[in-house]
Amino acid sequence: MAPSKRNRFLEFYTKLASFNVENLFVNKRKPGPPRTIFVNADLPQDYWDNKGKAKPEHVYNTNQVITSKYTLLTFLPRNLLEQFRRIANVFFLLIAVLQFFGVFNTISPGLVILPLLIVVGITAVKDGYEDVKRHQSDRRVNHTSAMVLSSSEWNNPNIMQPKSRTFVRGLIPKRLRPQARKPNTANVEQTEGVSDGSNQDQLAMFPEDVEFDEEIPEHERRFSFHSHHVKRPHWKTIIWEDVCVGDIVKIRDNESFPADILICATSEDENVAFVETKNLDGETNLKSRTSVPELIYMRTAAACANKENAFSIELDRPDNNMFRLNSTVNIAHATPSRVSADMSNILLRGTVLRNTSWVIGVVLFTGEDTKIVQNSGGTPSKQSKVERQMNPQVILNLILLAMMATACAIVDSVLEKRDYPGGAPWLYDDNTSGDNPSINGLITWAFALITFQNIVPISLYISIEAVRTCQAAFIYFDSHMVYEKTGQTTLARSWNLSDDLGQIEYIFSDKTGTLTQNSMVFRQCSIGGQIYTGDPEDDSSPKARESIPSNSDSVSEDAPDLPTKETAAAIGKQPFFHSNKLSKDISTILHSDSTSPNAALARALNGFFTVLALCHTVLTSVDPDTGKIEYKAQSPDEAALVKAAADVGYVFRGREREILYLQTPFTNDEDHLADQKVTYEKYELLNILEFNSTRKRMSVVLRRLDGDDGRVFLLMKGADNVVFDRLKAGVDQPLRDQTEMHLSEFANEGLRTLTLAYKIVSDQEYEAWSHRYHEATVALDNREEKIDAVSDELEQNLRLLGATAIEDKLQEGVAETIADLKRAGIKIWVATGDKLETAIAIGHSTNLIGSDSNIVVIRGGHGSSRPVYGQMVGAVQEFFPESGILDDNGAVTPGVLHRQRSISSLHDAQRPIPLQRVQTGISSIVGSDNGSRPGGFILVIDGAALGDAFADENNKDLLLRLAMLCEGVICCRVSPLQKALVVKLVKDGLGAMTLAIGDGANDVSMIQAADVGVGISGEEGLQAVNSSDYAIAQFRFLKRLLLVHGHWSYARNGNMILNFFYKNIVCIGVLWWFQIYDGWSSAYAFEYTYLLFWNSFWTIAPVIAIGIFDRIADSHILMALPELYRFGREGSWFSMKWFVLYMLDGVYQSTIIYFLINYTYSSTPTSRTDGYGQYQYEFTTTMVFSAVLVANLFNGLNTAVWTGWVFFAVFIGIILVWIYTAIYDLISPGWFYTPVYGNNIFVFHSAYFWLCLPLTVCLALAPRYILKAYKFMFTPDDLDIMRWADKINPDRDYAKEAYLHNGLAALRRSSSRNGDAEGSASNLSLHTTDSYRRRSALPGPQQSTASFSASRTDMSTGIRSVHHGFDFSAEEGGPAMRRMQSNLSERRGDSQLGVPKAKSGSKRSRVLSLIKRKPNAHAAPT
C-alpha cells in the first residue's frame, strides 16, 4: 500500500497551533556541573578566569524564586505574541495597515486601528493586573525572614548571580518603596544595622533582627550599636531572596526552610530534627533528619564563624529527584577527613521544622536549583478550549472572505475588459499603467477585504473579554462559595478560562489539605467484641478533658524527670476521645477481681489500651508554657492512638532510654490517691520490630519491671489480615469473627483501621529468639530478609485484643462533592505523596472507591520479578480480557488508543454514573473469578511504577489505556513532577479537558500542567493559590464552580460566539448579494455608518446579554442533578457543527432579506408617491432595519431565559437604529457631507417598508423557530424537560427525587459517622444496606458482612485480599528508628543476651490482666 500523501498545510497548522509562547521567554537554565561549597575557606584559584572574574559554572542561582510571567522587558513582546496567537488579531492588524493607504481608506486610518488598540490594550491591562498579583505573592515569599550567620570577620566566599529586577524594583526607586512587610519579614535596612542615632532609648538594645547565643555585657551592647557594626558573631535576620549558597542559617521551630540545607547541629540531644514534608510529598507524618556527626560542634555563632572550623562540601549537580542527594563533606581537622552525607542529612526548601527548637545548617542549593523548584515549571500561558476552537472557525471565515474578495476581483476585471471596448463612460481612460482592468481587479480584491471584514468581527473579542470579566465577578460575589469561617470568597485569577470550567472531563486532586484536614481523629474501637464509639459532643469539651485522672505533686523516686501535670493535648488540635459506654465499663471493672464476671472484659480493655500506649516510637516533652505533655510523633496515626489511650486514662509518661513509663487507671486508684502517691508501671523495651510496607505491622518486645514475675510480652499492631494469620489457632474464634465484622463496618465508613494483639513470651523462648535476632541484625548478607524472617518467628500464636478506627478527617462536604462529580461523568484521579495504604483509605472515605470496588495495585521498585509492564498486561488479561487491548496471543495491540477514547466517550454519554456490574452470586471474592465480582475497578499505582511507565512510550500508552477502563485512579508516593506528568498523560494522550486542584507547593506543577488549575487556601500555604487559575477556600466549592458557573459560562460563551458569527454573516450576506447588481465593485450596499455601528450599537446588546444573563437551567437544578453536566463535558454548546449551522442560518436569512426587499422595490418603477425612481439608500435602509430586527430577535430566540435585562438588550438595538435614522437623515449637507439627507421621509412613508419588515422577519426566523418548537415538543433533551418542570412546579425537590428513584443513593456517603455502639450496625450507608439485602436474596450459602468489602489485587505479587481499611503511616527506616535500634543493639551486646529469671513465688498467670486489688506498681514516696 502506497504511503499517504503528506498534508503540508495540516502539518504547518499543527505546528502553529502548538506554538508555545513561553518557550521564547522562559530561560530554562541547564543544571550546572557538580559543585563544591566552601565554608570558612577561600575559593581555589581555578575558580577565577584570567580577568579575575568567577567562572560561570561556579556562579550559583540566587534564592529569588519568581512565578510571575512578565518582567519590564518581556511584558510588551510576550503579551503581544500571546494576543496575536489569535488569527483574528493578525487579520485586524493587516486590514488596519491596508487602510493607511489612500486608495483603500474609508474613514480616518487612526479610527480604523483604534478598536484593535482598545482590544489589545484592555487585554494587556488585564494580563498585567493578573501578573502584578503574582509578583506580589512572589514578594511575600521572597521577603520571608531567615536568620543567617553574621560577623565582621566572617564572610561567605561562594559567588551568587544578581537578583532579577521585578516590576517594583524596575519602576520604583528603593528610597520610595513602601516598607510594609509581613510580621516575620525582615526590614532590609534595619538588617544592616543602620540608624541615625536619634532615638536614645534604643541605645541599650540591639536591633530586633540581631540574635546572640549568649548574654552580651551592657557596655558592649552600647558600643556595638553606636558603631553601626556588630563585631561579635551573631545571627542576623535577612529575607529569603538574600540567602546565598554557603550561608550558615539558623532555623527555629515551626519555621520553613528557605533553601536546601545540610544539617550541622540541632537542639536535640542526639542532633535529630523533625520536619514536616507535606508541601513536598503530601505526607503529614513527621520525618526525622540527623546532622552530620563531624559537624555537631557548630552549635553557636562563634563556633560557626571560627576560621579553624573550615570545611568544604562536594555535591552532585542539581536535579529533581526528591529522594536522592549524594554529597561529601571534607573536613581538614577531622578524622576521617571525608564524610558522606545523603538525604537523611538534608532539609529541603518547602519543608517545615517541627518539635525541634532550632537547627543550624549550611545552604547547599538556592532558588531554581532547589528540589521543590526543580519539580515545578514556569507559569504557562493558558488558552481556553473555546478560543482554540475559534481559531479554525476564524480561518474558515478568512478563507470565505478571501474567496469572496477573489470572486469580486475576477468578475470586476472581466467586466472591465468586456465593457471598456464598448465605451463604457465609467471606464474612461481605463488603459493606463495605474488604471486598467488588471490593476483595478487587484484593488477591488483589497477593497473587498475591507468591505467584508466584519465577517471576522473585532468586537467579538472585546465582548468576550467583557463577558468573562462579568463571569469572574459572578464567581467572586457568589455567596454560596464563601467560606464563612474566614470570609474568603472564590477568586478567578485567570479570567479567560471560565468556559473551560464547564467542559472538565478529568479532575486530578491532591489528598492532604485538599481532601483532608490534616487531622487524625480516633473515632471508634472494637474491644472484646464490643464497639466503643466516641461521643461527638465531647470532641472539644473541657469537662471531658478534666475527667482524666490528674497527677499528684510527687512522682516516683526511680522515675525520670517527667511532667507532673496531666494533659489531653498531644499533637496539633486533636479532639478529646470520650465514650460514655467505655467510661462506664472502665468504672465497673476498676475494682473487679479475677473472679468477677467482668474479668474477661477487664483484661481486654486493659490489654487493648496498654498496647496503644506502649507499641510506638513516640517521644514526650513538656510544654514550657502550660506544663502539659506533648507527644512528638513521626506519624499522625501514632499521635492519635497514643492520645486516645491517654484520654481513656492510659497515659504514656515518657521513656528513659529503654525504660517506658505508663500511668493507668489501675495504678492510680483511690487507695493510692489517698496516700498522695503517683505510681507508674515500668517496662523495659527489649526490641522494636519495625513497621514497613511489606510487614504491615509493628511489634515491641517489653519486660514488666515493677511486677513480681517480670515476664516478657510482645505487643503488636498491624493490618487485619497480617494479624489474623498470626493468631493462635482454635482460640477466640467468635471474637475473631466479631472483630472482622466490625472491621468491615469501619472500612465501609471510610475509617483507617489497625488490629491489636499480644503474646506472653517465655524466658527460654525469648532467650533463644533474641540470640537469633542479634545474629540477623549483624549479618552482612541479606540482613533485612533475615531480620524479617526471625521477627516473624516470634510474631506467632498471638491473642486478639481488638481493632481501632481512625478518621483522616475530610474537608467539609468532600465525599458528597466527589460523589456528585462522579455522577456528572467526571473521572477523578488522586495524586498524592502519601503511601499506598493511606491513599486507598482516603479513596474509601471520599467515595472514590466504592464498597464493592475491585482495587488493582501496581507497584514498582520493590525488586519484584514481575516488571511494571508485565503487571499492567496481567491486569488487562485478568480483569479486562475483552477490552481489545490484547490480541489472542496476549500481545498488546497497537493503535487502540483513539478507539478506546471514542468508546469511553460513548459510554459516558449513555450513562450518568460509573458502570456497576450485575450481581453474580459468587461465594467468595478471593479467587480466580475475582475480576467477575460486582463493582467497578480502581487502579492504584505508586511513584516507582509511574517512573517505569513514563520511561517508555509503550508503557505510557498501556498505562493510559488501562486507566481509561477503570472508574478512578489513585497515584501514591508521587513526586511533584510526576503529578504534572500524569496530568499531561491524560491531557495530551486523550485530548481531554483536565482540572488539577491542590493546596501545597507540591501541587504547583500539576496545577500549571492542567487546562484549569484550582488552588485551595489551606494549611500548606498559598503556593498553590498563587499559581492557580481559580482560588477556593474548600474543596466542596468545586462542585458549584463546575456544575453551575462552569456550565453557565461555557453555554453562555459558546452561544454568544455562535450568535456573534451569525449576526455578522447576516450583514455581510446582504452586502455580498448586492455585488451581483453592482458590477462586483465591492461597494457598500447601504450607508457606511450603518455598517460601522452594526457591531457597536445595533446588534451588540443581545449577544452580550446571552454571555452575561442567559441560563440553560437554574442553579438549584444544576446542583441537584449533576448528570446535566454532560452537556458541557461533551462539548454540546460550541463545536464546528454548530458553527456551520449558524453560518447557514445567516446565509439563509441574508438571502431572504436582500432578495425579498430588492424584488419588492425593483418590481415597480418607483415606491414614491411623486413618481420619481427610488434612490439606492431607500431600499438598502429597509434592508438595514430588517437585518437588525432579524438578528436581534434571532439572538433572543436562542436565549433560554428572558429576564428584564434580556428584553432590554434585544430591543435597545432596534430602538437605536430607528432613532439614529430619524436624526441622521435630518442633518443638512451644509453641516457635513451626508448621502441620506431626507431619506427618512421616503423610507418611513413607503408602504414597501412596512410590508417588508414583518414579512422578512417572519420568513427569516421561521425555520429556526419551527425546529426549536419541534425539538421541545417531540424530542426534548434533559435540559428542556427540567426547564419546563421547574416552570410548572418551582418548589419541587429534584435532588431528593433523583436520590430515591434513579438509583443514585449508592453514590451517597453515609451521613452518620458517629453514634452509640448499639446503633453502629444500623448506621451503615444505604449502599451497604441495599447491597446486603440484594445478596441475602440470592440462593446458596450466605456470606458474612465482612465478605462484602472491597477486594484488592497486588499485581506485583499476585496476592489478593479483602480490604478492611488498614492504614498506618510511619517513616520506614528513618534516622530516629535507626537510633533506637542502635541503642537496643548496643545494649544487647553489653548484656551478652542474658535474661533474668522470674521470681518463683509469683502467683500471677498473666501480667496483662492487671486485675488487682493492690497494684504492684512502683509507688513514689511523698
| 3-state SS assignment for residue 188 | helix
Among the listed residues 510, 852, 1110, 1354, the single catalytic one is: 510
Give me the phi and psi of 892, to 5 degrees please: -70, 130
Give me the phi and psi of 1295, to 5 degrees please: -65, -40
Q: How many CA atoms lie within 13 Å of 767's alpha carbon, on the beta-carbon side?
A: 11
Cell readout for 412 is 470586476
Print the SS3 string covering 1022-1076.
CHHHHCCCEEECCCCHHHHHHHHHHHHHHHHHHHHHHHHHHHHHHHHHHHHHHHC
Instruction: Give CA–CA dist 1244/870, Å, rounded.
Output: 82
Cell readout for 551 is 497527677
Give me the phi and psi of 1389, to 5 degrees please: -65, -40
Query: DSSP for 1386-1412?
Result: HHHHHHTT--PPPPTT---S-STT---
Instruction: Give CA–CA dist 1155/1070, Å, rounded.
Output: 9
Alpha helices, H only, 1093-1203: 1100-1109, 1115-1120, 1126-1129, 1136-1162, 1176-1197
Instruction: Give CA–CA dist 1214/1184, Å, rounded.
Output: 10
Neighbours of 1409 (CB within 10 A): 15
Instruction: Give CA–CA dist 661/651, Å, rounded.
Output: 9
Neighbours of 1226 (CB within 10 A): 14
Query: DSSP for 639-680?
Result: HHHHHHHHHHT-EEEEEETTEEEEE-GGGG-HHHHHTT--EE
Query: DSSP for 5-48?
Result: PP-HHHHHHHHHHT--THHHH---PPP---EEEEESSPPPGGGB
Instruction: Give CA–CA dist 1144/1156, Å, rounded.
Output: 18
Closest CA to 1212 of 1237, 1230, 1195: 1195
Query: DSSP for 204-260?
Result: TS--TTEE-SSPPPHHHHHHHHHTT---S-EEEEEEGGG--TT-EEEEETTPBPSSE
Give me the phi and psi of 453, to 5 degrees please: -65, -25
Instruction: Give CA–CA dist 1044/1038, Å, rounded.
Output: 10
Query: DSSP for 412-428?
Result: HHHHHHHHGGGT-GGGT
- Which residue is associated with the grid cell 474613514? 107
Instruction: Give CA–CA dist 1375/609, Å, rounded.
Output: 28
Amino acid code (one letter) for 1308 = R
CA 1356 to chain CA centroid, nearest Å = 29
Per the annotation, the verdict on 942 as an active-site residue is no
DSSP state for residue 355 in the 8-state scheme? S
- Which residue is associated with the grid cell 458502570? 915
Closest CA to 1070 of 1188, 1162, 1183, 1190: 1183
Q: How far is CA 529 from CA 598, 615, 733, 1290, in A?
A: 14, 21, 11, 51
Instruction: Give CA–CA dist 931/915, Å, rounded.
Output: 14
Instruction: Give CA–CA dist 942/191, Å, rounded.
Output: 46
Taken in order 498, 503, 508, 512, the sign of the CA dihedral is: positive
Residues assigned a catalytic role:
510
